[in-house]
Amino acid sequence: MKNSLTQKIGDEIVYNKPVIKVIGLGGGGGNAVSRMISRNFTEVDFIAANTDSQALKSNSAPTKLLIGPGITRGMGCGGNPEIGELAALESESLIREALQGADIVFLTAGMGGGTGSGAIGVAAKIAKDLGAVTISVVNTPFSFESGKRITNARTYLNKLAAHSDTLIAIPNDQLLKIVPRDLSLKESFEIADDVLRQGVLGISQLLTGVGEINVDFSHIRNMMMNGGGSLLTIGYGKGPNKVSMAMYQALNHPLLEHLPIENATGMIVNFTGDENLSFREVVEGMGYLQQLSNHQAEIIPGQIVDNRLQDEVEIILIVTGMASTPLESLNTKPEVKKNSLEREKTSPKTFYSNVAIPDSISHGEETKVLETVLSSTEPMRSMQSIDGPIIPTPNTEKKEFSASAEAAFETFMSPLGLSGYTPASITKNVENSDTDKIQDLDIPTFIRRKM
């Protein structure tokens, strides 16, 4: 049989689209899958896996896997992740069959409980063994939850990290900081699902969109599998400064950690806009990212023309080679302990972040504070918030921006009225009428777009 890539000119060329599968494990992961299905996703295979037959029966996923029937008899794990792990191992062949043929596998679960915590690492290893790019998006427990759930989450996140090309852990506490007080629990978790939704949607668009500069699957695969930890995020912008706005939003997602982009070894950045998106805007955006990464990152650009985006731009950013947040820091107590200080000194990739956001994002509060503590081995990248200053925690040991990176920051952010900001210093409040028009960039896409 002829290989579709080596057919002669004149023959029909068959394009084999990369296969994307999303598997939700346990109650939290299964609910996330059901909510995504309700958003009418296409060209993605959804799978739900659980040890609870009743919960699985009510799930809307087209493929349902009852795992560990011999161990749990379909009655769940009772919150024990060890049983969840054994259940996944018992049904390893079933999971393997469901994931067979996937090029990219998204895995999601709520960490701290039984099935999701225990099974997701097993499923990730299976996906990795099958040669797929593995992207895990999970929720970690609220700080008020019992120590046992937090310990379970920490233990099984470490296991999951070993088999994930990308691991995004969303603290449930962050939801309390960004959602309006009157938002229901279901709607709140839909906001958390937005990170997973953006990842699936972003990669789907990268692989199926056709434009002036195309990004193929090999680019994504090579970067994410060899990048030493990666992250995918999306930003939107509109108007004369749309690229700056989209870049700001992509780099400052309220549910994701402050991105240590200075350490990145590779980036894929795709610009989707109408046919009037100027070449200069794209070049300036690429130049800004390159200087922000201290000219150490390989950057692969992409551009897709979509005339439905009138005077708008969508940026899909995949960053690889970043340091990862140590999982030992999950829900650590606020008091400073001697052993934690010693761990910071000996761990070159340690960084902690805390985003303090008003209780309600719809009431127009002005001030937002970002406190970031980095180890002395990592430079700090700080951005001025559109509707208030970002105040880094003082640390005289931190490396400063290079002069070229500071200049790039000034040039790129000046259209937003954010120039004059010196990284790693306390900034002045921005008084610019344009900021009122774009202050909603920190509002999650789910709320802002009413999707």
User: 218 is written with which tokens?
Assistant: 């090999």
Q: Is 235 annotated as a binding residue?
A: no
Do residues 245 and 322 lie in contact, with contact meaning Cβ atoms separated by under 8 Å? Answer: no
Do residues 85 and 158 lie in contact, with contact meaning Cβ atoms separated by under 8 Å? Answer: no
Do residues 389 and 414 lie in contact, with contact meaning Cβ atoms separated by under 8 Å? Answer: no
Given the structure tokens 């939003």, which residue do they identify?
249
Q: Is 28 annotated as a binding residue?
A: yes
Residue 94: HSE in the Cβ half-sphere, 13 Å Cα cutoff: 19
Q: Is 79 annotated as a binding residue?
A: no
Residues 6+ apart with CB under 8 A from 363: none
Do residues 243 and 235 lie in contact, with contact meaning Cβ atoms separated by under 8 Å? Answer: no
Q: Is 149 annotated as a binding residue?
A: yes
Q: Is 307 annotated as a binding residue?
A: no
Q: Is 30 annotated as a binding residue?
A: yes
Q: Is 229 annotated as a binding residue?
A: no
Residues 6+ apart with CB under 8 A from 369: 356, 388, 389, 390, 391
Backbone dihedral angles phi then psi of residue 46, each to the nearest 5 degrees: -105, 140
Q: Is 350 annotated as a binding residue?
A: no
Whole-number Å distance between alpha carbons of 243 and 248: 8
Long-range contacts of the stretch 422-425 (C-beta < 8 A, 24+) = 423/380, 423/381, 423/382, 424/380, 424/382, 424/392, 424/398, 424/400, 425/392
Q: Is 27 annotated as a binding residue?
A: yes
Q: Which residues are annotated as a binding site?
A: 27-31, 114-116, 145, 149, 193
Q: Which residues are annotated as a binding site for GTP?
A: 27-31, 114-116, 145, 149, 193
